[in-house]
Amino acid sequence: MTPNGTERHCNLTRNQITFVLPPVVIIEMLLGLPGNIMALYVFCKDMPSWGTNVTFLFNLILSDFLLLLSLPFRIDNYLRDETWIFGDAWCRINLFMLAVNRSASIAFMTAVAFDRYFKVVHPHHKINYMTLKQAAGVACLIWAVVIALRIPLLANNLLKTDTNNSHCRSFTGDKDLSPGMLLHHGVFIIEFFVPLLLLIFCSGRITCALRSRQLDKGKRGQRAIRTVLVIVGVFILCFSPSIATMLTLLILESLGEKYCNAFKLTAQMFSLSIAFTYLNSALDPVIYCFSSSLFCNHLKKTLNRTGLVKQQLNRQGSMTSRANLDVMMSYGD
């Protein structure tokens, strides 16, 4: 039993390898911040040219900023050997923001893939004629669902005291979980497998549709395929480690106390796997490059000015962001 009166499987308390996390998370934060700030600037600057795709990408940026605001407190937590000093209320808010970032990132990645799917596979579907206001409404609905599913993190005490140290975790190894925390655990698992199946479906259907029209070799066709494949790649890299270790923990817990050593080791691997989840904010700008010609062209011009790369933009002439959006409309911007 813990001082809080909650029984824990294998008396899981302290993580022995958190010293690895601070430098990794700091690097991820430093890599993610410039790309997301640039994307925010580019998209806000060209707001009149927004389509549904850019609307979803913009909300993906907002979810990343939730993570970037939360990470300094997690870094401090890791530097103190997972001792939380900011109190119960901020513990709940911090874990809530981290969980909302994960859920929102997954949701908007899936939305971007589906937007590309409809534009390629069903080019005449009415969804492709969604107005900016309607796209914003869809984005607001996604946020409402994501926030509602993560409310249990605000409603439950997540600050556990052990040997005079306070630990702020949403996954603690407690045997008896409240209904809200059971929902949190369930959402953590379901929000990985359902979007993964949808992303694989979208990438497969886009590839087949373009090949059947003999468009898969063209520049726009290849770009449409690469966009969804990049999303799938980022999704699997960032979210599969945490879900794999989480499911392993559940299996080991069901096998009983004799597997405690394996359970404790896997619990530490789960903590390390969360660093891959944080990596999504650093890799999302890669998605912006493949998904939005608006962001890609701005990045090329910026690199060209610095002299880091040499390229010829004359082929594009004086094409404006809006004209470029129209050219790419059949495969999404």
Q: pLDDT tens digits, residue range 56-112?
A: 999 999 999 989 889 999 999 989 888 899 999 999 999 999 999 999 999 999 999
Ordered structural domains, the chain, with CATH: 17-331 (1.20.1070.10)
Q: What confidence tier does 178 reach under pLDDT thresholds 50, 70, 90?
A: confident
Query: Which CA distances in Å does 92 have to 153, 160, 175?
Result: 6, 12, 20
Give the per-residue pLDDT at 226. 86
Enumerate residues 6+ apart whose C-beta is below 8 A from 133: none
Most confident of 162-166, 216-220, 244-248, 311-315: 244-248
Task: State the number of CA atoms in the 13 A half-sphere of 19 facing the CB.
Answer: 2
pLDDT at 210: 86
Which of the two residues, 25 and 212, has the higher pLDDT score?
25
Q: Which amino acid is at 257?
A: E
* Cβ–Cβ < 8 Å for 53, 333: yes
Q: How far apart are the first and last CA of the chain?
A: 55
Each residue of 123-164: pLDDT tens digit? 899 999 999 999 999 999 999 999 999 999 999 988 888 777
Q: Where are the alpha helices (DSSP H) in 80-218?
A: 87-121, 132-150, 152-155, 179-212
CB burial class (10 A; 0-12, 13-18, 19+) of residue 126?
A: exposed
pLDDT at position 202: 93
Distance, CA of 325 to CA of 49 (rounded, Å): 7
User: What's the mean per-residue pLDDT of the chain?
Assistant: 84
- Map tokens 């600057």 to a residue: 45
Q: Mutual orientation of helices 87-121 and 219-254 as an angle, nearest 10°?
A: 140
- pLDDT, residue 58, reads 95
pLDDT at 167: 85
Joined together, the tokens standing for residue 286 give 């890669």
What pLDDT score was predicted for residue 113?
Answer: 94
Which of 181, 189, 315, 172 minimizes the C-alpha distance to 244?
A: 189
DSSP state of 258: G
Which residues are CB-contacts of 179 (< 8 A; sequence separation ≥ 6)? Answer: none
Quote the DSSP letter at residue 15. Answer: -
**Amino acid 321: pLDDT:** 38
Residue 15 scores a pLDDT above 80: no
What CA–CA distance (Å, rounded) separates 48 from 46?
A: 6
What percent of the chain has a predicted confidence (pLDDT) above 70?
84
User: What single-letter DSSP state applies at residue 154?
Assistant: H
pLDDT of residue 175: 66
Lowest mean pLDDT among 35-49, 171-185, 186-200: 171-185
Q: Does the pLDDT value for residue 6 go beyond 80?
A: no
Q: Can you tell me the distance from the alpha carbon of 121 to that of 281, in angstroms, rounded to the nearest whole number?
A: 29
* Beta-sheet strands, E only, within the chain: 159-162, 165-168
Mean pLDDT across 244-271:
87
